[in-house]
A and B are shown apart, each in its own frame.
Chain A
């Protein structure tokens, strides 16, 4: 018999890295920037967080440094896309390559050592799990209720209009990219500092790419991201849990399901918008486009 509460607690932990990365990417995309470099920023966070936790003995300091490092490594992407007008898709892919290489290179000194264990918080869950959950309403509030969030959404929806109103499109976007990097960094560090307690090359193993799918699934809302993280994380946790209970599951087909669900959600929302002409809801209007101020 599978205990649903225990399963849910497992899910909360398992979905934390992708939840952080996807919440960060959500803010970036709401500002109109598509950053495909999530995997690269996560792995840099995983390394810097681990190294800090190992040398300082303080895991929480590790997460702080991971956030900083994630934001820093996103900087070349911000410069390329915001000042040098480089294509966002190509620059993001280059960032992934760069981040994976950088982390592998600087990770040599901490190979094979073990990080200090973290004390668990309420319900036996790591404090960072709770932080991730707290970020959901915080980002919801920021995007929907704060003035800065309103400006950020305006920049993402129509950068020319936002510029005409006197907002600094570039500054908003650079801040969003840095925030996205910081969140991805924390998500990566959760894998190394809280889950594995060791550093290994390539240890994020594609989590950054899942985060990108989750943002699409979310329909660009914070609550949607939480639902998406639980769906994508949940499919993995549930199929492993069923296997452990001796149930045979079609693993390959099941692992395809969340991606198909994401496409269906995207199509449904796009269609609703197209046929009913309702405003809002789907992808930010300026997502992925270069912004160049003509005046």
Chain B
């Protein structure tokens, strides 16, 4: 009889080995899938995992990995802090949308002014918007004991409908021939979030993601609040005796992850997306939850997990282009990768032993 024994500390060896094993397992299972579908498994897997990094057009796709991964990393870093403390914000998608809307609102109100303060003000407004949307479940939990999981999820739906309302109503581009969607912020220099160094693809969102990873690492490993968060997650009762106020932590974690998600939304809407439409939410808030877990809730892990997911998106596009692989096949492949990564994580947290007692 097999038995699982929890590890007191995550195994360093398995932390590195499991993602490698999971990717290898995905290549095997995915290769089988590709072969069944009638595609050459070796070239399919090479196209997805290798070509974006070292293939013929890697000069373009390598920086694009950063662009695609940046919002995921930004959101997941914030979420992981709360997850460590046992505070479950699963509504980052809503906070992302609201941040995009409040940030864009500043730009649209300022249009066509060209002052220097506009973009920084948008970033602050985006972060505040996301923060406020995250504070709703925090306060409802603190005041009434309502589950933050469920309230934050419900607020995603509300945010999606606010975005549609904005795109068709108050934020509709007056010069857009009656079509839905706001002005395109890419064409409004004071408000746009452009590429900072030509050829790198990197915009302010990438910079923010890198800074966030460092800051969260510092918070969690060096700062007293990080200690409180970890204590609250592993031994809530002991943490309370140590003077950790649960209500403060709830507000801190939901506020922080909301603000980061809101910022991510603003960077995307002022950069790659360009405008508020009814489809401004593209699921980054949900994907980031997966990224947070794939990254073992650790900032560096999240950085790598975000890049890995971005790799499968961009590699998937290449596979469509060069091998005519249907988009659905790529989606199934991604689903498999997630299943394997989540499943293999068991080995980092538990030891497998034989059952000794009857």
Contact = CB atoms under 8 A, between A and B. Distances in A.
Are chains A and B touching directly in their complex (CB below 8 angstroms)?
yes
Interface of A: 34, 36, 76, 79-80, 84-87, 89-91, 93-95, 97-102, 104-105, 108, 201, 209, 212-213, 216, 252-253, 255-256, 259-260, 262-263, 266-267, 270-271, 273-274, 282-283, 287-288, 292
Interface stretch (B46-54, B116-124, B244-252, B345-353): B345-353
B338 A97 contact: yes
Contacts of B21: none
Contact of A105 (B162, B165, B292, B326): B326
Contacts of A34: 149
B346 A102 contact: no
B329 A267 contact: no
Interface of B: 4, 6, 37, 88, 90, 140, 143-147, 149-151, 153-155, 157-158, 161-162, 164-165, 168-169, 286-287, 289-290, 292-294, 326-336, 338-339, 342-343, 345-346, 349-350
B168 A267 contact: no
B144 A87 contact: no
B145 to A, nearest CB: 4
A240 to B, nearest CB: 16
Contact of A94 (B4, B335, B350): B335
Given A93-B286, A98-B336, A104-B326, A259 B154 contact: yes
Nearest to A108: B326
Nearest to A258: B157
Contacts of A255: 161
Given A80-B342, A85-B346, A292-B6, A252 B165 contact: yes
A128 B349 CA distance: 45
Contacts of B157: 209, 213, 256, 259
Contacts of B161: 252-253, 255-256, 259
Nearest to A271: B144
A263 B98 CA distance: 18
B335 A212 contact: no
A217 to B, nearest CB: 9
Contact of A256 (B162, B294, B332): B162
A53 B299 CA distance: 49
B146 A102 contact: no
Q: Is the interface of A mostly helix, strand, loop or mixed?
A: helix
B168 A97 contact: no
30 contacts: A80-B339, A90-B290, A90-B338, A94-B290, A97-B334, A98-B331, A98-B332, A98-B336, A101-B328, A102-B335, A104-B327, A104-B331, A105-B329, A108-B326, A201-B328, A212-B153, A213-B157, A216-B154, A252-B165, A253-B161, A263-B140, A263-B158, A266-B146, A267-B140, A271-B144, A273-B145, A283-B147, A287-B147, A287-B149, A292-B4
Contacts of B349: 85
A229 B9 CA distance: 45
A135 B206 CA distance: 50
A89 B87 CA distance: 13
Nearest to B346: A84
B343 A79 contact: yes
A270 B332 contact: no
> 3 closest Cβ contacts across the A-B interface?
A98-B335, A101-B331, A104-B328
B155 A263 contact: yes
A141 B292 CA distance: 40
B154 A84 contact: no
**Secondary structure class of chain B's binding surface, majority of residues:** helix
Given A89-B289, A255-B161, A270-B147, A94 B342 contact: yes
Contacts of B293: 86-87, 90
A270 B144 contact: yes
Contacts of A101: 328-335
B155 to A, nearest CB: 7
Given A98-B339, A101-B329, A263 B151 contact: yes
Nearest to B151: A263
B90 A256 contact: no
A97 B350 CA distance: 27
Given A256-B161, A256-B162, A102 B154 contact: no
B146 A76 contact: no
B147 A100 contact: no
Contact of B154 (A76, A99, A104, A213): A213
A98 B271 CA distance: 29
B144 A274 contact: yes
Contact of B168 (A36, A89, A252): A252
Contact of B145 (A80, A95, A274): A274
Given A93-B286, A213-B154, A270-B144, A84 B343 contact: yes
A159 to B, nearest CB: 15
A213 B158 CA distance: 11
Nearest to B6: A292
A253 B37 CA distance: 45
Given A101-B332, A252-B161, 12 more contacts: A84-B343, A90-B290, A90-B342, A98-B339, A102-B328, A102-B332, A105-B331, A209-B157, A253-B165, A256-B162, A263-B151, A287-B147
A99 to B, nearest CB: 8
Nearest to B278: A252
Contact of A216 (B150, B164, B338, B339): B150
A199 B6 CA distance: 46
Contacts of A98: 331-332, 335-336, 338-339
A84 B149 contact: no
A288 B140 contact: no
Nearest to B333: A101
